[in-house]
Every structure is written in structure tokens, then in C-alpha cells.
Amino acid sequence: MAEVQFRFRHDEAVGDPGVTVGAFGAQSNAAAVRLEPGDEARDLLPHLDRLRLIEINFPVYGDGRGYTAARVLREAGYTGELRAVGDVLVDQLAFMRRCGFDAFAPEVALDPAAAQAAFGRYPEVYQPTVDGRAPIWAKRHLAAQDG
């Protein structure tokens, strides 16, 4: 299993490997689960309170279903660790962060300087997501109200 290379949380990391969604139903004590692209994230919603780690796998970077899975989980109130695993590349980091991922375990370790630059590349965002950043339109109209 690849190492967690970037983590934006202060709680203790869960060491358990995530069980598959299929096995999760029978494992009533498991605190970690791993979603594959075809899995339905909403199947986990009844169990969010006992989950501490959800790994979302990207077998290939171009399969973007994991972005929707991540946002759906955060929108439903999941607060545990959301870890991107698999074919995670520098140029996807910022998008993943915006969709609610707060830990990254790329299969091939990334250049730390390039990753740092990627996380901070865009000063602003156009859309609100679960990351809480104020979109440009909110800043525009806040400024208009102040002025």
C-alpha cells in the first residue's frame, strides 16, 4: 500500500486498510472502507458516523468518478479522512482538495515542491464546493455591499 504523502488533518491517521464496499456490510466494526470508481458512495451514507477513513481509488487519473464520490460524501456530512489513492498526479491535487480530499497516497510519490506549487496555484475559485473557499462571485458581491 502506498504511503500517505500529504495529509491536511491533525487527528491520528487510521492504519487499517480499507475493506471493499462489498465486504463492508458484513464488517460491522470496520472503520475504513475503500471505494472503487463503480461503487455508489451514497451506499455508505447510513454508516458515516462509524467511518474514520474512506479511501477513494483512482485506477487511472482520467477516471473522474472519484471526484463526485468525494463531494457527495462531504455534502452528506462526512468529516473523517478522505484519502485519494492510486494514479494521483500533481495536476489533479488542487481539484481533489476542492472536492473534499484531505489526504493523498499517490501510487508513485510526487515531487514535493511541484505538489506544493499545485496546491496553491490558483488564488481564487469560481465555484463553491465543500472546501469552504469563497467563490469569486461571493467576493464580488461582498465587496459591492461593503462599498
Partner 1 sequence: MGDLMYKYDTYDQAMVDARVDEFRDQVARRIAGHLTEDQFKPLRLMNGLYLQLHAYMLRVAVPYGTLSGAQMHALGDIADKYDRGYGHFTTRQNIQYNWIKLDEAPDILADLAKVEMHAIQTSGNCIRNTSSDQYAGAAADEVTDPRPYAELIRQWSTFHPEFSYLPRKFKIAVIASETDRAAMRLHDIGVKIVRNDAGELGAAFYVGGGMGRTPMIGPLVRDWVPLDQFITYAEACLRVYNRHGRRDNKYKARIKILVHELGKEEYTRQVEAEFALLLAQNIEPPLAELERIKAQFADPRFEAGLADLVDRSDPDFALWVDNNCVRHKTPGYIAVTISLKPIGGIPGDASADQMRLMAELATRYSFDELRVTHAQNIVMPHVRKDQLYDLWQQLDEAGLGTPNLDLVGDIIACPGLDYCSLANARSIPVAQKIGQRLAAKEQQIGELKLKISGCINACGHHHAGHIGILGVDRKGTENYQLLLGGCEGADTSLGQITGPGFDEDGIVDAVEKATEVYLSTRTDGERFLDTYRRIGMAPFKEALYG
Q: Which residues contact partner 1 (rule: CB under 8 A)?
A: 37, 61-65, 67-68, 71, 75, 89, 91-92, 94-96, 98-99, 117, 121-129, 135-137, 139-141, 144
Rounded to the nearest whole angstrom, what is the least distance from the CB of residue 122 to partner 1 in the complex? 5
Nearer to partner 1, 11 or 91 (CB): 91
Nearer to partner 1, 14 or 115 (CB): 115
Instruction: Please say whether the beta carbons of 47 and 31 come within 8 A.
Output: no
Strand 6-7 relative to strand 53-58, pairing: unpaired
Rounded to the nearest whole angstrom, what is the least distance from the CB of residue 52 to partner 1 in the complex? 24
Nearer to partner 1, 14 or 86 (CB): 86
3-class DSSP state for residue 55? strand
Q: What is the rounded CA–CA span in Å between residue 8 and residue 22?
A: 28
**Which sign does the torsion angle of CA 57, 3, 19, 101 carry?**
negative
Rounded to the nearest whole angstrom, what is the least distance from the CB of residue 127 to partner 1 in the complex? 6
Nearer to partner 1, 8 or 137 (CB): 137
Task: For 16, list phi and psi in degrees, rounded to 5.
Answer: -65, 140
Q: What is the rounded CA–CA span in Å between residue 110 and residue 40?
A: 29
Which residues, listed in sequence order, are joined to residue 82 by a DSSP beta bridge?
54
Chain centroid, CA 15 distance in Å: 17
Rounded to the nearest whole angstrom, what is the least distance from the CB of residue 146 to partner 1 in the complex? 14
Rounded to the nearest whole angstrom, what is the least distance from the CB of residue 34 to partner 1 in the complex? 18
Nearer to partner 1, 53 or 92 (CB): 92
